[in-house]
Amino acid sequence: MSSLIIVVSGPGGVGKSTIVEALVRRDDRLWLSRSWTTRERRPGEAEDAYVFVTREQFQQRIANNGFLEWTEFIGNMYGTPNPEAPIGRDIVLEIEVDGASQVKKMHPDAVLLFVLPPTREEQRARLQGRGDVEQKVEQRLQKAEDEEPIGKAIADFVLINDDLSATIDEMLELINAVRAKRA
């Protein structure tokens, strides 16, 4: 049985990181890819949330064909290293829309779950609650307006992350349904 590629995408602050952490805790067949980024670590953010690198290190990895996909997002580079998932595990990528569409082009079988906030105001509150500085909050809200139509168009499933545990349950059910269909 070949492994699934599950892409979780959606605007900043919608809850993607929180959701994927829960998914891999709840389902041990899921393997979470750790991205590289040139952005600085946020206060309170886990040290292993990303591999935090310099622009030079990132460029070097691009030159070595070391990324499955990469993009520039609000002034920083983000990329998925070529995945090295253990055999039998399904790969989870938590990435923005440009990367998601690159992955879909390369791997049409990838399952794209696009997550939306209940409202823009709730998204703002989540970004502020997470401690993003005001300028970043505005940039991410603006970016969301551009990303959402594309994300919805390329998604296999669109979910609204209102109640967190309901969203996680729904995603696990969707993933199991896709597995059953592909088995």
Note the residues at the interface with ligand 5GP (CB under 6 A).
12, 16, 35, 39, 69, 71, 73, 78-80, 94-96, 98-99
The residue to which tokens 């994927």 are assigned: 20
DSSP state of 86: P
Q: Which of 33, 37, 80, 161 binds ligand ADP (CB under 6 A)?
A: 161
Q: Does 43 interact with ligand ADP (rule: CB under 6 A)?
A: no
Q: How far is the CB of 15 from ligand ADP (least distance, A)?
A: 3
Q: Residue 126 binds what, of ligand 5GP, ligand ADP, none (CB under 5 to 8 Å, by partner type)? A: ligand ADP
Q: Does 164 interact with ligand ADP (rule: CB under 6 A)?
A: yes
Q: Does 151 interact with ligand ADP (rule: CB under 6 A)?
A: no
Interface ranges with ligand ADP (CB under 6 A): 12-18, 126, 129-130, 161, 163-164
